[in-house]
Amino acid sequence: MAPPQFKQLRRAYGFDEVAIVPGEVTINPDQANVSLKIEGLTFSIPIIASAMDAVTDVNLAILMSKLGGLAVLHLEGVQTRYDKPREILAEITRASDTEITPLLQKVYSQPIKENLVGERIQEIKRGGGVCVVSVTPANTKRLAPLATEAGVDILAVQSTVTTAKHTSKSYRGLIFSELCKSLPVPIIVGNCVSYGACLELMRTGIAGVMVGVGPGAACTTREVLGIGVPQITATIDCAAARDDYQRESGRYVPIITDGGFRKGGDLCKALAAGADAVMLGSILAQAKEAPGMGYHWGMSHPHPALPRGTRIKVGITGSLEQILFGPTSVTDGSQNLIGAVRTAMGVCGAFTIAEMHQAEMVVAPAITTEGKSWQLSRSPH
């Protein structure tokens, strides 16, 4: 009865649709090793703060380093467009819902000051931080040399969708294999969501891939462009590319699931799905040290002609340390993220994140989890 197939659609899954199955053996959470390696660098926790202006500034980057993770400073955001970004950030938090998009469009139309690129990097280095900065593909040739000159440790090249091959009339596409050879630091690239695109990126010689298109809390790419793959499937597919690339090259390129996380359980699921690390935006924007002062917005939001995103009031719920390591009296999974990861690895019997990749998962929609709608179902009484 079915017609000849014009197109087959595969089912893709997001965080809320899956769950991790406990293992047949368990270990104590304190035995779980949660470290991350990016080329020569080792980080004691697999958490990366997003290259978003509400999440990462110089101070947050230094603090994340001290806590064992890393943070990415966006070289095309307010930090390099303004000498005093704090004033601009405060103005953004004060704007009303109707004013916010035009204001962001105006704020981000100011030119990048090249001198600020080096200054911000040096501030992070002076503070003792590992310095990671991000640029978009179109500005990479201009900004990457400035960054490496200033002493950056890792360069991230990131846009909504980045591929190994890009065609443009107005400029010659970025060739990642050339970039890798010309720069003295590891390059991580994103975002992508599919096996093929991820594999092609890895073959250019880069040091890490960011995975995720459309899932972020402050992102409306899915609504505006119809583009996106839910994070669990995107992670599983890119993990397959990573393993196949390792088989063909001998080189292990970590994948970093980026966007859509709301609670500790989501981190555990991303790792079980094959991620080596996670990149967090809105969760870390809740830290009292975050530059967003309780607000969060996306970096596609200020687009002059086709803005995408929403500004979210995330609130300030605790210190960065408390969000990462607890202890906490919050029971919704938004604090003690590393404690949650360790506990989940414990019940899966995983000593390392590589072992956590072997955990079994099931499709189990949150909407049907028993007992969760208790209050609702009892309301008539």
Query: Using the rule CB under 8 A, which residue among 85, 129, 228, 254 binds a copy of itself?
Result: 228
For the bound state, the minimum distance from the C-beta of residue 214 to a copy of itself, rounded and expressed in Å, comes to: 7
Binding flags for a copy of itself, 173-212, as an x/- string (CB under 8 A): -------------------xxxxxx--x------------
Q: At 170, list the tokens.
A: 């107005």
Q: Is 339 in the site for a copy of itself (CB under 8 A)?
A: yes
Site for a copy of itself in 95-154 (CB under 8 A): 101-102, 105
CB of 332 to a copy of itself, least distance (A): 6
Q: Is 340 in the site for a copy of itself (CB under 8 A)?
A: yes
49 binds a copy of itself, rule: CB under 8 A: no
- Type and span of the H or E element at 205: none
Asked if 210 and 256 touch (Cβ cutoff 8 Å), the reply is yes
What span, in angstroms and rounded, lies between the C-alpha atoms of 45 and 277? 8
Exposure string of 52-75, with b = 16+ CB inside 10 Å and e = fewer, is: bbbbbbbbbbbbbbebbbbbbbbb
Nearer to a copy of itself, 144 or 164 (CB): 164
> Is residue 258 near a copy of itself by the rule CB under 8 A?
no
Contact yes or no for 259/235 (Cβ under 8 A): no
Residue written as token pair 């991820």: 198
CA proximity to 187, closest of 197, 174, 171: 174
| Residue type present at position 52 | M
Q: Is 293 in the site for a copy of itself (CB under 8 A)?
A: no
Taking the chain, what is the end-to-end CA distance rounded to the nearest angstrom? 49
CB of 381 to a copy of itself, least distance (A): 6
Give the binding-site size for a copy of itself (rule: CB under 8 A): 140
Residue among 149 and 243 whose Cβ is closer to a copy of itself: 243
Q: Is 268 in the site for a copy of itself (CB under 8 A)?
A: yes
Does residue 18 bind a copy of itself (CB under 8 A)? yes
Binding test (CB under 8 A) with a copy of itself, winner from 272, 278, 287, 290? 272
Check residue 254 for interaction with a copy of itself (CB under 8 A): no
- Which of 46, 85, 186, 259 is the binder for a copy of itself (CB under 8 A)? 259
Consecutive H or E run containing 93 = helix 85-94
Nearer to a copy of itself, 147 or 359 (CB): 359
The torsion angles phi and psi of 72, rounded to 5 degrees, stand at -110, 120
Q: How far is CA 339 from CA 29, 145, 264, 268, in A?
A: 8, 39, 9, 10
Q: Which stretch binds a copy of itself (CB under 8 A): 45-53, 115-123, 140-148, 371-379?
A: 371-379
Query: How many whole angstroms separate alpha carbon 102 and alpha carbon 191?
Result: 26
The residue range among 65-73, 127-135, 144-152, 256-264 that interacts with a copy of itself, by the rule CB under 8 A, is: 256-264
Q: Could you say whether residue 158 binds a copy of itself (CB under 8 A)?
A: no
Closer CB to a copy of itself, residue 146 or residue 256?
A: 256
Stretch binding a copy of itself (CB under 8 A), from 17-25, 48-56, 126-134, 144-152: 17-25
Q: Is 318 among the residues that bind a copy of itself (CB under 8 A)?
A: no
Contact between 273 and a copy of itself by CB under 8 A: the answer reads yes
Question: For the range 155-158, what are the long-range contacts, defined as Cβ-Cβ under 8 Å and sequence gap of 24 or more?
Answer: 155/183, 155/185, 155/186, 155/187, 155/188, 156/51, 156/72, 156/132, 156/187, 156/188, 156/189, 156/190, 156/210, 157/187, 157/188, 157/189, 157/190, 158/51, 158/72, 158/134, 158/189, 158/190, 158/191, 158/210
Residue of 192, 219, 268, 348 marked catalytic = 219
Q: Which residue of 185, 312, 320, 353 would you call a contact of a copy of itself, by CB under 8 A?
A: 312
Distances (CA, A) of 80 to 88, 135, 201, 280: 12, 11, 28, 22
Indicate the SS3 state at residue 104: helix
Q: Does 169 bind a copy of itself (CB under 8 A)?
A: yes
Q: Which is nearer to a copy of itself, 205 or 339 (CB)?
A: 339
219 noted as active-site residue: yes
Active site residues: 219
